[in-house]
Structures are given as C-alpha cells and as structure tokens.
Amino acid sequence: MSDEQSPYRSFVDQAIEHERNHDWSKAAGSYDKALKNSDQLKPLQAGELLEQKAYSSHKAAMQAENGDQFENRARGAIECYQKALQAYQGASEPETPGRKHRCNAMTAYLNYWLADNPADKKKFVDDAWTHTKASLNVFEAIGKSFDFAVTFDQLSYAAAFSYNYDGSSQGRENKLREALSYAEKSIRHLSGSDSYQMLARVHAKSTGLMVAIERDFASYRDKDKLDLEAWNHWVKARELSEEAALSEIPYMVVLQSWPSACSKDERFTLYLKGKELAEKINDRFILGCVLDGLAQRNF
C-alpha cells in the first residue's frame, strides 16, 4: 500500500482539513489516529506529527467552553509536546535542535496560560521567548525557512506577553526589536510561497510591533516613517487574507498599538468584524481581546 493510500495519510489529510475549518479538537483527534496507524515513522517524523497534534490541542484550548475544559486541553497539549520532545531525542537531522527548542517554548508558553501567580507567568513567558529565539536561530543557520516562519507565527505572542511583563525600558525595547527582526525575516521567507494566510498573520503582527516601537522608543524623526510602514503591513495583511488579518487583532490589543492612519471609527469597524470572526471560529482568545479593544475605545 502506498503512503497516499495508507490510513496514516488519510488521517493526516483529515486533520489538515479540520484545521482549515478551525475544528481543532477534531484535528487533534485525527492526528492521534494517524499516530496510532503509523508504526514505521522515523523519530523526526513522529516528533513532527506529535507537535501537530499538540498545537491543535493548544488551539482547541482557546475554544474551550469553561475553565476546566481549557485546563484539560492545555495540559493535554503540554503532554503531547513532551512526547514530541522525547521522539526528537532519537533524531539526528540538522533541524532537530530547533524542533526541541520549539517544543520547550510551547510548553513554557502553555504553562504561562495555566499559571496564576504573576511571577510564575513572567518566568514561563520569558522562558518561552528564550527558547523561541533559540529555535529561530537554529532554523536560520541551517536554511530551514519554512520552519523559521512557522515557529515565529506560533510563538510570537510569547514576545508580546514577555514585553508586557518586563519592567526594564531597555528590555522592553529589545524584545520588540528582536520580534520585529524575526517577523521581517519570516515575511521574506514566506513571500512567493502559497502560505498566504501565515504571511498575512506575520504582516499583521509586524504592524503591532512597529507601532509599539514607534510609540515608545523611536526618535521623533522616525515616528512618521515607522507608522506609515506599520500601516502598509496592515494593508498588505488584509490584501492577502482578511480573515487571517482579523485573527491577529489580539496582537494589536496586547501591545496597545494601532497605526495612527487607522482612525477610531475604522478600529471600531475592525473590532466588530473581529468579533464576528471570533464567534464564527469559536476562538475565545480572539473574542476576549476584541471585547477588550472595544472597551478601550468606548471608555
């Protein structure tokens, strides 16, 4: 039986289709079935499949109906990332260290969401960003451009949350500029590819990062230039995929950064569109951030 005809391949295809439909619990279930029907995978392949299941579980946690369901799904994602890490222990390919750092980054990021104590949350999200950077640096060094972009796309919120917990002005600026550098590299890696939704998300995140830098750290003569560049990133994101751009409104809310070219009335319209999207795809994180943004606008 060819790989295309195998139950394993069929379940992976099902998982990808569930991801397109934002049905993350079903995607995780299909990846689990693929794992159970694949007894000849190399360690790197097994680790990759476990990572995909873990990420789907993470996204499913953001669709949870209540706190208990969120915690169960998040802990399930952590367990799966740990299994992926174990699988990678047997791999020797050049990208293996980058994959390990990505698993550690996602584990720390999920623990950030589960922690109650602010000091613990800061530690976890700082660890997440440290491992993210290590992963990105590995992928850049060996020319794994798609892995680089995927890692930034999945873990860029670690930089935003770590920025918010940093009490040092220099530390805050460094995080923003590091994240923007990685975003710009991701855009170069993805340009010309068919991953237009990911590219749109990275353009949208670049908007938030540029405005945050312009607002707090740029020299007076550079402010207008940065704001215009940020607006151009937002326009490009919407041209590539309106839905993908709207899904990154939380990045602007977390960083409290919209380009000045985006009027208050336009922001209000975008928040309403973001709310509609969040309800459509059942994403509680997007919904919460959009409602936060609406509250900031109205009060």
Could you tell me which residues come within 8 angstroms of residue 129 by beta carbon, excluding any fewer than 6 positions away? 105, 155, 158, 159, 162, 175
Percent of the chain exceeding pLDDT 70 equals 97
Query: Within a 10 A sphere around the Cβ of 33, how many other Cβ atoms?
Result: 18
What Cα–Cα distance (Å) separates residue 85 from each residue in 90, 146, 157, 167, 190?
9, 20, 21, 32, 26
137 pLDDT more than 70: yes
299 pLDDT more than 60: no
Q: How confident is the model at residue 1 (pLDDT cuts 50, 70, 90)?
A: very low
**CA–CA dist 140, 134 (Å, integer):** 10
**What mean pLDDT comes out for the span 105-127?**
98
pLDDT digits (tens, 9 = 90+) for 29-44: 999 999 998 878 899 9
Longest C-alpha distance within the chain, in Å? 65
Asked whether the beta carbons of 178 and 209 are under 8 A apart, the reply is no
Residue 186, sorted as left (phi over 0), alpha (psi -120 to 50) or beta, turns out to be: alpha
Percent of the chain exceeding pLDDT 90 equals 87
Q: Where are the domains of the chain?
A: 194-299
Query: Is the pLDDT higher at 297 or at 245?
Result: 245
What local confidence, expressed as pLDDT, does residue 162 receive? Answer: 97
Q: How confident is the model at residue 8 (pLDDT cuts 50, 70, 90)?
A: confident
**CA–CA dist 257, 253 (Å, integer):** 7
What local confidence, expressed as pLDDT, does residue 220 receive? Answer: 82
Query: Is the pLDDT higher at 9 or at 29?
Result: 29
What local confidence, expressed as pLDDT, does residue 4 receive? Answer: 52
Residue type, 246: L
pLDDT digits (tens, 9 = 90+) for 191-223: 988 999 999 999 999 999 999 999 889 888 888
Q: How confident is the model at residue 2 (pLDDT cuts 50, 70, 90)?
A: very low
pLDDT digits (tens, 9 = 90+) for 157-187: 999 999 999 999 999 999 999 999 999 999 9
Query: Within a 10 A sphere around the Cβ of 266, how many other Cβ atoms?
Result: 11
What local confidence, expressed as pLDDT, does residue 5 receive? Answer: 54
What Cα–Cα distance (Å) separates residue 29 from each residue in 15, 34, 55, 117, 171?
8, 9, 12, 32, 40
Q: For the chain, give the mean pLDDT.
A: 94
What local confidence, expressed as pLDDT, does residue 151 receive? Answer: 98
110 pLDDT more than 50: yes
118 pLDDT more than 50: yes
